[in-house]
Chain A
């Protein structure tokens, strides 16, 4: 058991701590180092923004933090797990199932399933009974303001609504860590604002450690902490006071 990170921490306690992450990709005959010994931490209740230009390694960083992409060097302590990458693949999956939420730029919803089914499908894999899963899914969808669209399939939903379904799918699990990768970049200003507010709320009200990768500087207003990464190195790490009422408008 590591001393730092905890499953149910108070606001400000460590949820995730990574040390010396190195990730290389093969490019032709040579290797490109995408992460060059990155140290990173995220705390319960914080909305941590990871910013940087494309190719800076920010997506690779969250892939390594979340157990999706094995780093060549370094370790990740997450919640009660001491060095996530020492676990077997199945145990890492289980860890993500129990504790992690994911939101992607593309919404990745099954075209055949209604909003409610998108959420219950994941919950059932967590071992919830169908009735419980349904109740919890409906609650999560109401929280993102889709209580009236439970039975719509993705084709009938707007981009913003789809992303809200994806958020509900991630939040219904009540995750302690929520990863979001460019969650607003496929959305217009208004929908983007709805989404970033939901992420803010996940941090404030649910106490989740929200790690949001973006290159949209306007989202900074909602963040507790902004980390800038460039060429695989963290160049800047600032704490700031978030403004939950900030306006993200395209005009």
Chain B
């Protein structure tokens, strides 16, 4: 084990401040970015987890909610022209007013009724599935029982984190746009902090009079024979479409959806602010900690100098030390963010940690640490072996 690594492990308390500063800087940026990606995920989770291998959207669309959405209904049979396509369904989303129903005791006094409060009313997003077995619009983690329950008319399912805001529980009746629906399912893993989401079947939606029946439909969701060939089929579909549409694999669309959040100028400013703040805090604390730690061993460094170890080698020790401090900081940052994301998830807030984000932030933290190492290098000048002679 190298001198730098042994020192870091043995005197870890001395380096704790630097590691924590890096971890908190990392947490700040990771959590902020993660929350924003997570907000987007709240809207697209059901679609990204569907069994659709391919999506077809307007040529100008940059992501699911970015760019033109609707397409002519005649594209549905056109998509079937590809021999490997087995199912085409249109993506339908709706929205409405959701209101819980309170059981009112007719004998209660006016004061008691007032205490009970008004029924809760919320604007909700509606995800639509087709209840035919194995349909392309059903998310892969939905159980048979859930689909069966939703197959009944006027039924809805709600994510567990939306139960409290909507004021309902399993089995409750509620009003959706003034018509009675029954909560027959509770989902897990579909939180949306911005807007509660409910799921219903396309048939229920039609009976409620809200399905797209006209000549224009939402993006197409396609299932193909061999999902492994999705990229090939996408290329062929794009050729067939002749510029009228653009096909995406599920992963391409998911990546585009995650990135779409950052087209918002304000988000970039907020995250940019966090990055700047993180760098300032990280560098300042790491620099001073490293400086102090080197100063504490300055006599030992001086004795190495006396024995002929050059200044360049000592600088390399400092840089190696900063690198390891950075590595530990990255680990701590990821751990803290992960713990925070668990806590957040129980409150319907998704903190998304895509590997690319971890790599970028991790690299940034190591760069901060190395920069701090460079800054604290000056203190090595104090390792004058002549000072050891008295």
In the assembled complex, which residues on chain A have CB atoms less than 8 Å from the CB atom of B304?
121-122, 125
CA distance A182 to B305 in the complex (A): 19
B3-A113 in contact (CB<8A): yes
**Which chain B positions have C-beta within 8 A of A181?**
388-390
Which residues on B sit within 8 Å (CB–CB) of A122?
Answer: 304, 307, 309
A87 contacts the other chain (CB 8 A): no
Contact B306 A68, beta carbon cutoff 8 Å:
yes
Q: For residue A94, which residue of chain B has the nearest CB?
A: B308
**CB 8 Å contact bits of A92-126 with B (1 = contact, 0 = none):** 01111110111011101111110001000110010
A173 at the interface (CB under 8 A from B): yes
Task: Kindly list chain B residues whose C-beta atoms are within 8 Å of the C-beta of A66.
Answer: 306
- Per-residue CB proximity of A169-208 to B under 8 Å, as 1/0? 1100100000001100000000000000000000000000
Stretch of B238-246, B270-278, B295-303, B332-340 on the interface side: B295-303
Question: Which residues on the A side are within 8 Å of B302 (C-beta)?
Answer: 108
Given A63-B386, A106-B388, A112-B7, the answer on whether A169 and B307 have CB atoms closer than 8 Å is: yes
Contact pattern, B 275-318, Cβ under 8 Å of A = 1, otherwise 0: 00000000000000000000001011011111111110100000
Interface status of A59 (Cβ within 8 A of chain B) = yes
Which residues of chain A are near B313, meaning CB under 8 Å? 125
Q: In the assembly, what is the distance between CA of A121 and CA of B303, in Å?
A: 12
Q: What separation, in Å, do the CA atoms of A108 and B1 have in the docked complex?
A: 20
In this assembly, does A246 line the interface, its C-beta being within 8 Å of a C-beta of chain B?
Answer: no
Alpha-carbon distance A170/B384, docked complex (angstroms): 18
CB within 8 Å of A: which B1-58 residues: 1, 3, 6-7, 9-11
Tell me if A102 and B385 are in contact (CB < 8 A): yes
B6, A104: Cβ atoms closer than 8 Å: no
Task: From known contacts A59-B389, A68-B385, A125-B313, infer whether A110 and B3 are also in contact, taking CB-CB under 8 Å.
Answer: yes
Q: Would you give the shortest CB distance from B388 to chain A, in whole angstroms?
A: 5
Instruction: Please report the C-alpha to C-alpha distance between residue A166 and residue B10 in the assembled complex, in whole angstroms.
Output: 20
Contact B299 A106 (CB under 8 A): yes
Asked if A248 CB lies within 8 Å of chain B CBs, one says no
Residues of B near A28 (CB, < 8 A) are none
Separation of A217 and B224 alpha carbons in the complex (Å): 96
A63-B386, A94-B308 are known contacts. Are A108 and B10 too (CB-CB below 8 A)?
Answer: no
**Chain B contacts for A94, CB-based, 8 A:** 308, 310
**A113 to B3, alpha carbons, bound, how many Å?**
7
Question: Which chain A residues border B308 with CB–CB below 8 Å?
Answer: 93-98, 100, 125
In Å, the complex CA distance between A113 and B4 comes to 10
- Is the CB–CB distance between A97 and B309 below 8 Å? yes
**Closest Cβ of chain A: how far from B205's Cβ, in Å?**
67
Quick one: which of A60, A66, A106, A112 has the most chain B CB within 10 A? A112
Chain A nearest CB: distance from B314 CB in Å?
10
**Are B6 and A69 closer than 8 Å at their CB atoms?**
no
- Pairwise interchain contact B299-A108, C-beta atoms closer than 8 A: yes
Contacts of A104 in B (CB 8 A): 303, 306, 388-389
State how many angstroms separate the Cβ of A138 from the closest Cβ of chain B: 17
Cβ–Cβ contact A110 & B309, under 8 A: no
Q: Which of B337-379 contact A (CB under 8 A)?
A: none
Known: A111-B10, A113-B3. A62 touches B307 (CB 8 A): no
CA distance A109 to B1 in the complex (A): 16
Instruction: Choose one: B11, B311, B389; the contact of A111 (CB below 8 Å).
Output: B11
Given contacts A112-B9, A181-B389, A181-B390, contact A93 B303 (CB under 8 A): no
Q: How far is the CA of A117 from the CA of B300 in the complex (A)?
A: 13
Contacting pair B297 A110 (CB below 8 A): yes
Closest B residue to A62 using CB positions: B389
- Determine whether the beta carbon of B307 is less than 8 Å from that of A110: no
Q: Is the CB of B310 within 8 A of A68?
A: no
Chain B residue with Cβ nearest A112: B10
In the complex the two chains form, what is the Cα distance from A58 to B76 in whole Å?
97
**Can you list 27 A-B contacts with CB-CB less than 8 angstroms, sorted by A residue number?**
A54-B390, A63-B386, A66-B306, A68-B389, A93-B308, A93-B311, A94-B308, A95-B308, A97-B309, A100-B308, A101-B307, A104-B388, A106-B299, A110-B7, A111-B10, A111-B11, A112-B9, A112-B10, A113-B3, A113-B6, A121-B3, A122-B307, A125-B309, A153-B10, A181-B388, A182-B390, A213-B389
Top 7 closest pairs, chain A to chain B, by CB: A97-B308, A96-B308, A112-B10, A108-B303, A59-B389, A102-B306, A112-B7
